[in-house]
């Protein structure tokens, strides 16, 4: 009876995406991502992953706090950085051709960056919006007992939950991982690829607590 639910569909392709940035500003003039990581999944099976260090048209200015949290190294950055124009075709291919785009707080942060990626190269991004699954919003809905009810769109539901505030409600990626008892190297979080590896594990637990 519930075979239509995502938890049972192993044919869907998911792209998990995360960015590490200069700071938390949502304006590209003041904040650009220096790391973009993606993991491609077919159901619960990993197909591929990418971990890009990104070179932009201007020098980056990673804040001291962001550098401390993310372990940003200017020396490593200079050695590994690849021009954004060289990696965008892969980002576009993965995001355009997957069934769902997954991220933790992707609606509150990373999707603003993704929209800018497309704007930067003069391409539309709107075809991506209906694919978004934000594990931060979904986890909040689960913890608050606010279930998804069609015909409301899944995107509308997630945006609605994103803006709900409640004291003591904790839905960070690390908290969810520990709530679910997921083994992971939590000390290495805030590296985009390490975060995504945990995000995949969290989604594979979280999807059994939702009905869509």
**CA geometry: angle 50, 54, 55, nearest 5 deg:** 150
Q: Residue 3: its pLDDT value, please?
A: 60
Strand pairing partners for 38? Answer: 17, 50
Instruction: Return the closest-CA partner of residue 199 out of 6, 3, 16.
Output: 16
Look up tokens 């391409």; give the residue. Answer: 123
How much is the pLDDT for 8? 85
Distance between CA 181 and CA 16 in Å, rounded?
Answer: 21
Q: Is 163 exposed, middle or buried (0-12, 13-18, 19+ CB in 10 A)?
A: exposed
Rounded to two decimals, the pTM is: 0.96
**For the domain 6-209, what is the CATH code?**
3.30.420.10
What b/e sequence results for 139-151 when a residue is b if at least 16 CB atoms lie within 10 Å of its CB, and e otherwise? bbbbbeeeebeee
Q: What is the pLDDT of residue 211?
A: 85
Q: What is the pLDDT of residue 1?
A: 43
- Which helix (H) or strand (E) segment holds residue 8: the answer is none
Helix, strand, or coil here: 86?
helix
Of 22, 50, 57, which Cα lies nearest the Cα of 36? Answer: 50
pLDDT means per 10 residues in the chain (212 residues)?
76 97 90 97 97 96 90 95 98 98 97 96 97 97 93 94 92 96 94 97 95 86
Identify the pLDDT of residue 2: 62
């Amino acid at each position: 009876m519930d075979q239509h639910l995502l938890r049972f569909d192993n044919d869907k392709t998911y792209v998990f995406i995360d960015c590490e940035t200069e700071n938390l500003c949502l304006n590209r003039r003041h904040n650009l991502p220096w790391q973009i990581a993606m993991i491609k999944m077919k159901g619960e099976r990993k197909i591929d992953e990418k971990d890009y260090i990104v070179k932009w048209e201007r020098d980056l200015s990673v804040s001291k706090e962001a550098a401390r949290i993310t372990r940003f190294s200017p020396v490593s950055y200079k050695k590994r950085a690849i021009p954004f124009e060289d990696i965008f075709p892969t980002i576009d291919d993965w995001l355009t051709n997957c069934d769902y785009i997954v991220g933790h707080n992707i609606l509150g942060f990373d999707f603003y960056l993704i929209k800018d990626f497309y704007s930067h190269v003069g391409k539309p991004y709107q075809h991506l919006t209906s694919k978004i699954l934000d594990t931060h919003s979904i986890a909040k809905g689960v913890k608050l007992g606010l279930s998804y009810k069609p015909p409301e769109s899944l995107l509308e539901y997630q945006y609605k939950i994103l803006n709900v505030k409640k004291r003591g409600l904790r839905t960070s990626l690390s908290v969810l991982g520990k709530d679910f008892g997921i083994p992971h190297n939590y000390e290495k979080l805030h590296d985009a690829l390490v975060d995504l590896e945990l995000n995949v594990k969290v989604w594979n637990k979280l999807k059994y607590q939702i009905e869509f």
